[in-house]
A and B are shown apart, each in its own frame.
Chain A
Amino acid sequence: MNVSYRWLNEYIDLSGIEPAQLAALMTRGGIEIDSVPSRNLGVSRVVVGLVKTREKHPDADKLSVCTVDAGTGEELQIVCGAPNVAAGLKVPVALVGAKLPGGVQIKRAKLRGVESQGMLCSARELGINDKLLPKEQQEGLYILPPDTEIGRDILDVLALDDSVLELDLTPNRSDCLSMIGVAYEASALTGRPLRLPEPAKELYASEDKTADHIRVSIRDKELCSHYSVRYIKGVKIGPSPLWMQNRLIAAGIRPISNVVDITNYVMLEYGQPLHAFDAAKIAGGRIEVRLAREGETLVTLDGQERKLEPHMLLIADAEKPIGLAGVMGGLNSEVTNDTVDIVLESARFDGGTIRRTSRQLGLRSEASSRFEKEVDPGRVRDALDRAAGLMGKYAGGTVAEGIVEEVVSEAKLAVVSIALERINRFLGTSLSSLEVKTIWSRLGFEAVGTAEGVWEVTVPTRRGDIVRDVDLIEEVARLHGYDEIPTTPIEGPTTTGFLTKPQAIRRELRSLLAGSGLSEAISYSVTSTGSVRLFPDLNGETEGHKPIPLAMPMSEERSVLRTALLPSLLEAVAYNRSRKTGDVALFEIANVYHSKEAALTGLPREIPRLAFVLHGNRTASAWNRAAEKADFYDAKGILDAVFERLGVSGRIAYEAAQPEHFHPGRTAALKLDTENGTETIGYVGQLHPDLQREFDLGDTYAAEISLPQLYEYADASIVYRALPRYPAAERDIAVVVDRGVEAAALVAAIREAAGELLESARVFDVYTGERLGADKKSVALALVYRNAERTLTDEEVTAAHDRVLEKLEQSFGAELRK
């Protein structure tokens, strides 16, 4: 809503309060005002002039030489290039010494040898948004009405000596979608009285009765609570008065004709949208308000044919739809230059219905935006009378007697009771009864004291947002001033803040991973359909799950909820790589979304996951060391550290696996030992070369694991174990086995054979080479034996060690390498 400061002054005397001051006051009171542009963008010494003569310029085809009476006492000779200049017109004249927007200064000049003592101006040259003017006014000089006084300052004539308050209204304050509403607000904030128009007295009534011309009925009564019309005979369509046009332009509304302008003017004034029908085009002399029927169509005022749906509310005559209620009129009942009699509508439609229709048709209008937020039920008739009065005055019509209407429900005044004690307790203030009473009176709310410090407050219909005591408390708070509310600490028992186990684990993981050289990524949860086909079942529990699409995506790139984190991280690696960062180590902790339903009926599963990628070098080369390429064991080592930190190392096993999109020989499934048996919680491995190629990546190592199982089994408990008091015996062995034998199997066999004496068995070397044969490898292990109770004897160690060697030979055909 754009509010002309000058116009507002008509309803409340704001002298002494500058527009910017008013804006600040209103903003602090809760009506946010974005900016207060001046309507005068730098115009001075421009006056109304009469073009007395016009002749063609002797030396230029497109120029005219005019004599102009600008009330200066002498006739001015002015050269003009506008195509629409003609003798007898009144136009804005920039005198010598005038200034125009954009720093233009008017000087005495010669144009192609002819002297020019000023300039005739177009609307645009005066800084007026000429998009709001009729086409003919845009193309040349701004032609003023014939009765405009010669010599008068154009700032005054076009009301440019004004500022516009640009209101940024919250949806609850639709009462300020009207000049009168804004005036009420200004009155509450300044304490100054209002002077409102009294429409009923200005009616130009005739003998004629409205009821003789038109009948109305509401079919769908829950969608329209009040429908009223007046009948105005014999209007003469023409321009509206300049002052009215000025006000409409200031508000950003295009002047069209006296009848249409009056409906818009009254809408701005009262917040009640009005519509004028050409009475001759209403069949059967009756109007009904009803829902559209299947298959009905309507060509709206903008010339578009609209397919109507059964939830859309219509205005119809005896035969056909003639308007989309509250949204836009029909072309078939439009007021044109030939219109003689009009039916003027003022109504209250259901906000939700209007909103749905206007959104569905993409038709947002000044009217629909007001109906959506519900109009003031108390102003339906006032606005109709006000407009009828103006029609009589400025459109030459005679207003038939009486309003024809159907009222489903009359405006009801809300009565809310509130106690001073409740206000003070809720706000933490210590307001007095008098202070609160003053606020009621400033707001124009009638408040009856029913007991000491208790009021029954009658809320005017214009403030439909106030229905509960807290709404009244807000009024008190904002008029008293939010700054005046004290700051206090919360009273009552103290509470302890702590992280839940999953929250603590995620923090731990982030710091561990960042400390391990990976940077945290955050990527979009919504991704492309191509991306969700990757890594469909990473934790083995989402088999058969379907990606979840957005109903109306803004682009294909963001059309489905992601089912895995790795695709986003791969995109991030590619992004970095294309910016010459080839060494990339990233992790992300976020949710993925899965559902088994093809069409969602309930909320999908949101599974928190951890994923990371390693690409390029794990350690960059430096003057004193060579670069170290990331490999599978870097990725695995990071996971080892993760599991160690979460206290689940003992439950985790890595098993060779061939999940989709991973390198079949370089990938392990992560198996967690749970109460329900072994569960796969994710994978770690090298990406499949095909996928690396698809993302244009080098060798990439990645892991993605599901977190809920880790949340469950993570164990932070630490119990001290006594430090060893007896020495250990260390034996290194190297065995030659088939290449396919896994180290974990060797270690398991060693443990089994050595029994309790074995403290640890650690692989410290793996060797392959021609000497061993192509299908063999040598694995070197360091075994540590220890007895916690006493020093081991050589015999004990040797016996255990022999069992180990025997077992390895039996199980794997291992040969001791000498």
Chain B
Amino acid sequence: MKERLEELRREALERLQGATDPGQLNELRVQYLGKKGQLTEVLRGMGSLSAEERPVIGQVANEVRAAIEAVIAEKQEAFDRAETARRLQEETIDVTLPGKRPTAGTIHPLTKVTQEIEDIFLGMGYSIAEGPEVETDFYNFEALNLPKNHPARDMQDSFYLTEDILLRTHTSPVQVRTMRAAGGKTPLKVICPGKVYRRDDDDATHSFMFHQIEGLVVGPNIRMSDLKGTLLQFVQALYGPQTQIRLRPSFFPFTEPSAEVDVTCAQCGGHGCRMCKHTGWIEILGCGMVHPRVLEYGGYDPKEVSGFAFGMGVERIALLKYEIDDIRHFYNNDLRFLGQFARM
């Protein structure tokens, strides 16, 4: 009987090794190990064995079963691996075909620049103030030290709606409105972004509607050196820590002293290039110490407090930043233009 078992093992192992697919393997498993399989059949004959022989043969039979099962498992695993490999091969795709992008729109470049500047000043402790775009002559001019028939009004040709109401020519009226709303409190630190309107013929560098950001600080001891410090901090946040500023004396009716501010050209780092017309400097801001009359109109006593103000054109900063050649692109809403501002 032992011989039959050994014979069975030899035969089974040989045939199992020769199995070529999982079906065949299964057939062989049934043939040898199944309920009616050959091994089962042999073991059924164990009843006729003596009590001494039975454990010996039983052990041999178990070894044979284990050996067959081991080979089946090994073969099965090999077949599974092959099957997986085949499936993976079959499922291979062209990873270079385009992906399914979620449809994404873009934020307008002027908004991007405005928010960037807002964020810098928010971080410096400024609030954002807003005011009406349709303004009274009083807030737009008079309260900014620009009385009627003052020659400085020529600097800003305006769109009037009535004799006394106009589209604001700058965001500066928000200064006075903010001061009045503050009711004499200090410190006051705000920036005022918004649309402004001037009677300009539209061309590559002019637009009758454009955007400004105004800044205003009022406090008990605000100095011109603070203005310089603030502007330096701002431009370094906007253009990088190597950026420098240069102030040139200028004139605005609502500030005294007044200055135009140049920054070192971000393109060439101040060495001179086409962008900065080979001067190394680019003008981006107007600023000054708030004129005493404006403080008075705002409800402050210029003997008690002082302040500084600055203003910049958002379009100008965006034109420079993105190297855009025509300001009118900002208002055409051409998707081929807007689509270029997808980056963070």
Contact = CB atoms under 8 A, between A and B. Distances in A.
A507 B257 CA distance: 36
Interface stretch (B26-34, B42-50, B67-75, B195-203): B195-203
Contacts of A510: 107, 111
A426 B221 CA distance: 8
A32 B133 CA distance: 32
Among B105, B253, B331, residue most surrounded by chain A Cβ atoms (within 10 Å): B105
Contacts of B199: 554
B105 A600 contact: no
Contact of A487 (B186, B228, B306, B335): B228
A497 B121 contact: yes
A363 B72 CA distance: 110
A295 interface: no
Contact of B226 (A429, A488, A548): A488
Interface residues of A, number: 100
Given A468-B292, A474-B257, A517 B103 contact: yes
B54 to A, nearest CB: 56
B178 to A, nearest CB: 13
B105 A517 contact: yes
B154 A171 contact: yes
B126 A497 contact: yes
A519 B111 CA distance: 12
Given A428-B223, A499-B128, A514 B256 contact: no
A355 B153 CA distance: 11
A625 B103 CA distance: 14
Contacts, number: 258
Contact of B123 (A497, A519, A604): A497
A454 to B, nearest CB: 16
A100 to B, nearest CB: 29
B106 A519 contact: yes
Contacts of B222: 490
Contacts of B217: 490
B209 A526 contact: yes
Nearest to A488: B225
B334 interface: yes
A493 B223 contact: no
Interface string A341-360: 00000000001110110000
Contacts of B135: 603
B111 A520 contact: yes
Contacts of A624: 97, 100
B247 A520 contact: no
Interface string B206-229: 001100000001011111111011
A494 B217 CA distance: 12
Interface stretch (A196-204, A315-323, A575-583): A575-583
A710 B60 CA distance: 86
B221 to A, nearest CB: 6
Contact of A551 (B102, B151, B161): B161
A493 B103 contact: no
Contact of B224 (A485, A492, A521): A485
A483 B246 contact: yes
Given A172-B251, A477-B249, A622 B126 contact: no
B128 to A, nearest CB: 6
Contacts of A497: 121-128, 189
A594 to B, nearest CB: 11
A552 B160 CA distance: 7
Contacts of A27: 248
Interface string A611-628: 000000011001111000
A600 B160 CA distance: 11
Contacts of A129: none
Contacts of B97: 623-624
Contact of B98 (A477, A603, A622): A622
Given A30-B250, A482-B248, A551 B108 contact: no
Interface in A558-608: 558, 561, 569, 572, 575-576, 579, 581, 584-587, 590-591, 593, 599-604, 606
Nearest to B187: A492
A624 to B, nearest CB: 7
Contacts of B108: 519-522
B162 A600 contact: yes
Interface in B96-153: 97-98, 100, 102-108, 110-111, 115, 121-128, 130, 132-136, 148-152
21 contacts: A27-B248, A170-B251, A372-B151, A427-B223, A468-B292, A470-B289, A474-B258, A483-B246, A485-B247, A488-B223, A495-B126, A510-B107, A519-B105, A525-B209, A551-B161, A551-B162, A558-B208, A579-B336, A603-B132, A606-B132, A618-B103
Given A482-B247, A494-B125, A499-B128, 6 more contacts: A470-B257, A490-B219, A496-B125, A498-B122, A500-B127, A623-B98
Which 8 pairs show the lowest CB-CB distances between chains A and B?
A428-B225, A30-B249, A352-B149, A170-B251, A517-B103, A428-B223, A474-B257, A497-B122
Interface of B: 97-98, 100, 102-108, 110-111, 115, 121-128, 130, 132-136, 148-152, 154-155, 159-163, 165, 167, 186-187, 189, 195, 197, 199, 201, 208-209, 217, 219-226, 228-230, 232-233, 246-251, 253, 256-259, 289, 291-292, 306, 330-336, 338-339
Interface of A: 27-30, 32, 170-174, 351-353, 355-356, 372-373, 425-429, 468, 470-471, 473-474, 477-478, 482-483, 485-500, 503, 507, 510-511, 513-526, 548-554, 558, 561, 569, 572, 575-576, 579, 581, 584-587, 590-591, 593, 599-604, 606, 618-619, 622-625
